[in-house]
Amino acid sequence: MTRLLLPGMEGRVLGERGGLRVVELYIGAQHPASGHMRLIVYLDGDMIVRVDPDIGYVHRTVEKLAETREYVRVISLVERMTIIDACNVTLPYVEAVERLLGVEAPPRARYLRTILCEINRVSSHLYGLGLGGIFLNHSTMYMWAFGDREVFVHLASLLTGSRLTHTYPVFGGVRRDLPQSFRDEFEKAKRYMLRRLREYDKVFFNNPVIRGRLEGVGVLPREKAVALGATGPNLRASGVRYDARMTGYAAYRDLGFEPVVGREGDALERVWVRLREIEASLELVERALRELPDGPFIDERYTRAVPPAVRHWLEKGRLKLPGGYVRLKTRPGEALGRGEMGRGEITYYLVSDGGMKPYRLRVVTPSARNVVLFDALARGHTLMDLPAVYGSIDYFPPEADR
């Protein structure tokens, strides 16, 4: 058996099939690399003819488990699909349940949800950029991005009380109000990150070695991106002006959101879109903090049910969920929830039979939609271009194997 070593990958030659050399590549399961993934690569010499992604190694049965849990307990379940993007992955589900409950979050809660979503988006992009650096043997980018991500993990912890799995949006609002120190902490984080992004441009994006690995590689034309159903930065890098935030959920309609759109559609452009989206997220959070409305952070019908013994927590800006919250029943029917995660659009289809648990929950995540790009973008390139293609897609296996 012939063994192969590529950045972040280990593989073996399986022999020949139909006159093509077949290579089996393992990505992970160790980190740093986007682990738990296998690719079957068909080669003509050193040129990629076909790539078969072999997913399913971290299947979490989220959809089936959701049918066995009360609505509020499903929030922390779906959160585990993409821990690094916790608010963006849970908010569309929460909004879908709110439609069936006939409840709407107060304006202040919608703004707070948006603030956390954008903080998580920055963290997600830094995570993806760091892994992209590893795939290109650029360990500096990995260390910088993961170190800088801690700044935004801290901000999320300050707002929610938890570093990664926040379970922050709940039906009718959020669990905590904005702490007094948050604005100052964010201003420091924004100044720091904008300075760091200029350094990222110098050391990584404009690095001639990196540009040589990414420019013109894995080109996804606009028409093909639409036909394949690509989503997120991978779609917008091809010149398609679409972002689920344009639908106006949470507070995005009030904040006048505009997406970052590229033109070239190659691996380098996909990196550029993520770098610029970090800047856009920082501006959105600053605007949301400046325009944050006064008022309650959760619907009054739920605060009235809080027991007197723990009501003092409300005055401190924290919600202790009443016991009846677990036993909430929705009206029978169907609801759709859509949102924009760091990697693209996530969709929930929820069916209720009028009980305390979902009758059916269907989730389509951005990585599940983008997995088709492995084959579409790698064909015609050399085997050594495959890590660059993988890193530019920002694919997250646990999110696809939901």
Q: How far is CA 222 from CA 49, 229, 238, 392, in A?
A: 22, 11, 5, 16
Over the range 215-233, which residues count as b (16 or more CB within 10 Å of their CB) and which as e? Answer: eebbbbeeeebeebebbbb
SS (H, E, C) 263-315: CCCCHHHHHHHHHHHHHHHHHHHHHHHHCCCCCCCECHHHHCCCCHHHCHHHH
Three-state DSSP at 60 gives coil
Task: Tell me how far apart the alpha carbons of residues 171 and 322 are, in angstroms, rounded to a whole number.
Answer: 12
pLDDT (mean) for 364-377 = 94
What pLDDT shows up at residue 28? 56
Confidence of residue 102 (pLDDT cuts 50, 70, 90): very high
- Give the number of other CB atoms < 10 A from CB of residue 81: 24
Question: In the predicted model, what is the mean pLDDT of the chain?
Answer: 90
| Token pair listed for 219 | 């080109």
- Put residue 295 in one of left, alpha, beta given phi > 0 → left and psi -120 to 50 → alpha: left
What pLDDT shows up at residue 7? 67
The superfamily (CATH) of domain 62-400 is Cytochrome-c3 Hydrogenase, chain B (1.10.645.10)
For the chain, what are the domain ranges?
62-400
Q: Is the pLDDT of residue 29 over 60?
A: no
Q: Is the CB of residue 143 less than 8 Å from the CB of residue 126? A: no
What pLDDT shows up at residue 35? 60
The candidate with the shortest Cα–Cα distance to 218, out of 187, 264, 256, is 264
In the sheet where 344-352 sits, what is the strand order?
333-341, 344-352, 360-364
pLDDT (mean) for 53-71 = 87
Environment class of residue 304 by beta-carbon count within 10 Å: exposed (0-12), middle (13-18) or buried (19+)?
A: exposed
Confidence of residue 321 (pLDDT cuts 50, 70, 90): confident
* Number of continuous H segments (helices) and E segments (strands) in the chain: 17, 10
pLDDT exceeding 70 applies to what percent of the chain? Answer: 96
- Give the number of other CB atoms < 10 A from CB of residue 289: 16
- Find the helix or strand (DSSP H, E) in which 124 lies: helix 107-135
Residue type, 214: L
CA torsion through residues 106, 339, 177, 77, sign: positive
Please report the DSSP string for 63-118 in residue order: HHHHTTS-HHHHHHHHGGGGGGGHHHHHHHHHHHHHHHHT----HHHHHHHHHHHH
Residues 6+ apart with CB under 8 A from 256: none
Q: What's this model's pTM, rounded to 2 decimal places?
A: 0.92
Q: Is the pLDDT of residue 34 over 80?
A: no
The candidate with the shortest Cα–Cα distance to 249, out of 110, 366, 362, 346, is 110
Environment class of residue 137 by beta-carbon count within 10 Å: exposed (0-12), middle (13-18) or buried (19+)?
A: middle
